[in-house]
Chains A and B, each alone.
Chain A
Amino acid sequence: MSEMGATPYPPGELEREARAADTRRRWLLSLPALVIIIFAAAGPLLVMVVYSFLTPGDYGNVKWQFSLEGWTNTIVQRDIFDDTLIWADAHLSIFWRSLSLSLITTLLTLIFGVPTAWFIATQPPGKREFWLFLVTVPFWTNLLVRTIAIQELIRSEGVINLVLLKLGIIDAPLQMMFTDFAIGFGMTYVYLPLMVLPVYAAVDKLDFRLVEAAHDLYASRWTAFRRVILPLIKPGIIAGSILVFIPCLGAYVTPRVLGGGKNLMFGNLIELQFGQGRNWPLGAALSLMLMVAVMVALIWYVRVTSREQADGR
């Protein structure tokens, strides 16, 4: 007869061992991803931070000499003639254009995306996959190719102008290429799926009996949308807006192809510093600025949504 509690294992040992084995397995499984993140994301980021505090080299590259000019140059610049400090208007206006075009694009994808998502989510289950597939088709093609295709539509001899001319609606081709309109149009097209998908997920989760309940309680269609549907799909709308807004801020290919050389966006400005501008520290500082702006937006988003969650759901 053994005594009470006289087991071969001290209390808790088996649990401890199982936990340790579990932790080991998890680390092992995530190791490849961790390696990639460290070498491919954290590493270059560190390089950028270091570069932003160095002096530009004569033919690009950097000189290993500490300097804050990269950062100060983002906001002010030294006049070439009398060496006085002046506001870097060009940077500010580009920053402003990026911000406003990104906001407009977000708004447009909302206006087009929400009804689309609603339409798909209210299809019979078998047909939704088809429509979702159509929405994601553009992702299957290279961004550059799609952007050039848009160019074919809107350039002076493009499809839209030709049709309008033939129909006699206009006398001379409309100048659409190389305008802010072209950039907005292109970005709306490119990022629309990023709005449709999260909003679709939110509408799909929506309990339509709540909509019936709203109608039953004398709400018109519009009021039911505003008071019941909108608040309930808001997380999807916010997620979609963030997903559209952030890449818009850093968009590079679309503004380059459709905006031409003049209508720079933030991404093009950064590219310029590493190319013709030969000012790598400035380019590094600008891209870090962009990253911080994006992070602030993200943190704000997480705060807002988590506060709503805490409000009770």
Chain B
Amino acid sequence: MDATTNTQDSTTDAIAVEVDHVSKIFRGEQEVRALDDVSVGIRKNEFFTLLGPSGCGKTTLLRLIAGFEPPTMGAIRLGGRDISRLPPNQRPVNTVFQNYALFPHMSVAQNIAFGLEMLGKPKAEVQKTVDEMLRLVRMEELKNRRTGEISGGQQQRVALARALAPHPEVLLLDEPLSALDLKLRKDMQIELKRLQSETGITFIFVTHDQEEALTMSDRIAVMSAGKILQVGPPRDIYERPAERFVANFIGESNFLDATLAGGKATLAAGGTFDVHVPEGVRDGKVSVLVRPEHATVHAGEAGEREIAGTVENVVYSGEATVVHLRLATGEAMKARLSNAPQGGEAAPETGSAAAVTIAPGAVTVLRD
């Protein structure tokens, strides 16, 4: 077992975990295809996020990598080595469980020491690493407490320290922040990112929270119904979603009808835009995405390169105002305007005619 192998590899392209055509079918009263021919490569030292709604198979994929369940089909490789057959205790992979799964009959320090003891490390080394981990997650003062006597945020930190202590090649995190309140969650997001860069361990992070995924990840895999729909850096996923599901799941979206011809999309509502065309989309009728914050609105008639609409609703939400419009084609559209200091330009009024301007490059063709 080489769980302590230093994985700080300068070649960032090296693959840490390779999921090779993996399917997982649960046979109960009815057959559930939790994973459907999933293939993905997760790079070394990467903060990789599996993002999707509940039931999309993201946790199943994590459990397969951890070794808690065997795949129905396919193989999982770790650093090029097939680990499909290894039990969890022989995989240099550790998990931070959703509800932490801390051992209630042990102290904080004993929890952190557990993995190291199981690996048969000498006492002095266990002690040293436990102290290091306690410092890393800032829990030195509570090391002798029982896990039931510390707060949720502290338990979270102990769970992290326990999983990091054996210095695994890959750390799996199963929605570890979902039980925390908003403020704590924001702090832990930054904390996790810090831990990842300090330890240089590959993180595979499961979440259904798109904002969390965008904030923390190097790359995101968006999953739905047992399939990976798109893999890419947060910016690509947000700005160039390939499918309607991905666009809809991440951020606010306007879906508009358009006609694609020669790398240019002409909206049904008016206006022609240079667009990025994803693979497999042919000229003709397509759906395009415009993010609300990439559109602006002003009162009055539409000029050239502008789209005419009627204001249906204006919603103030602190840092922005969202204008809901009905376009001439009958399509609904939202525009998100940043709020200027008081006395700045006011948003158009409900019921008035307005003109929408879409920023160049803001129109994305979708594959669906």
CB <8 Å contact, A219 and B118:
yes
CB <8 Å contact, B66 and A216:
yes
- Mark the stretch among A29-37, A205-213, A278-286 that contacts chain B: A205-213
Closest A residue to B112 by beta carbon equals A217
Q: Is B245 an interface position by the 8 A CB rule?
A: no
In angstroms, how far is the closest chain A Cβ from the Cβ of B299? 57
- Mark the stretch among B93-101, B280-288, B308-316 that contacts chain A: B93-101
In angstroms, how far is the closest chain B Cβ from the Cβ of A211? 9
Inter-chain CA distance A311–B118, complex, in Å, is 24
For B301, what are the chain A residues with a Cβ–Cβ distance below 8 Å? none
The interface bits of chain B over 131-166 (1 if a CB of A lies within 8 angstroms of the residue's CB, else 0) are 000000000000001101100000000000011001
Q: Is A313 an interface position by the 8 A CB rule?
A: yes
CB <8 Å contact, A209 and B99:
yes
For A311, what are the chain B residues with a Cβ–Cβ distance below 8 Å? 146
CB <8 Å contact, B162 and A217:
yes
CB <8 Å contact, A232 and B105:
yes
Q: Is A12 an interface position by the 8 A CB rule?
A: no
The interface bits of chain A over 210-224 (1 if a CB of B lies within 8 angstroms of the residue's CB, else 0) are 101111111110010
In angstroms, how far is the closest chain A Cβ from the Cβ of B102? 8
Inter-chain CA distance A214–B97, complex, in Å, is 12
CB <8 Å contact, B166 and A217:
yes
Contacting residue for B118 out of A212, A223, A312, CB 8 A: A223
In angstroms, how far is the closest chain B Cβ from the Cβ of A206? 11
Inter-chain CA distance A296–B280, complex, in Å, is 80
Inter-chain CA distance A240–B253, complex, in Å, is 61
In angstroms, how far is the closest chain B Cβ from the Cβ of A220? 6
CB <8 Å contact, B101 and A218:
no
CB <8 Å contact, A215 and B87:
yes
Chain A: how many interface residues by the 8 Å CB criterion?
20
Of the candidates B3, B66, B95, B105, the one having the most CB atoms from chain A within 10 angstroms of its own CB is B105
In angstroms, how far is the closest chain A Cβ from the Cβ of B307? 53
Q: Is B88 an interface position by the 8 A CB rule?
A: yes
CB <8 Å contact, A312 and B148:
yes
Q: Is B26 an interface position by the 8 A CB rule?
A: no
Contacting residue for B97 out of A213, A220, A232, A313, CB 8 A: A213
For B149, what are the chain A residues with a Cβ–Cβ distance below 8 Å? 312
CB <8 Å contact, B68 and A212:
yes
A212 and B88 in contact, given A207-B101, A217-B114, A218-B115 (Cβ under 8 angstroms): yes
Q: Is A231 an interface position by the 8 A CB rule?
A: yes
Inter-chain CA distance A227–B89, complex, in Å, is 14
In angstroms, how far is the closest chain B Cβ from the Cβ of A207? 7
For A218, what are the chain B residues with a Cβ–Cβ distance below 8 Å? 1, 3, 89-90, 115, 118-119, 166
In angstroms, how far is the closest chain B Cβ from the Cβ of A256? 43
CB <8 Å contact, A213 and B89:
no
Closest A residue to B93 by beta carbon equals A216
Contacting residue for B103 out of A213, A215, A220, A223, CB 8 A: A213
Within 8 A of B (CB), among A215-251: 215-220, 223, 227-228, 231-232
In angstroms, how far is the closest chain B Cβ from the Cβ of A50? 48
Closest B residue to A215 by beta carbon equals B88
CB <8 Å contact, B95 and A313:
no
CB <8 Å contact, A217 and B101:
no
Q: A215-B89, A312-B148, A313-B105 are in contact. List 18 more A-B contacts (CB 8 A).
A: A212-B88, A212-B101, A213-B95, A215-B67, A215-B68, A216-B68, A216-B88, A217-B89, A217-B118, A218-B1, A218-B3, A218-B89, A218-B90, A219-B89, A219-B114, A228-B103, A232-B104, A312-B149
17 A-B pairs, CB-CB below 8 angstroms?
A212-B101, A213-B103, A214-B103, A215-B67, A216-B93, A216-B95, A217-B94, A217-B115, A217-B166, A218-B89, A218-B119, A218-B166, A219-B89, A219-B118, A223-B118, A227-B114, A312-B149
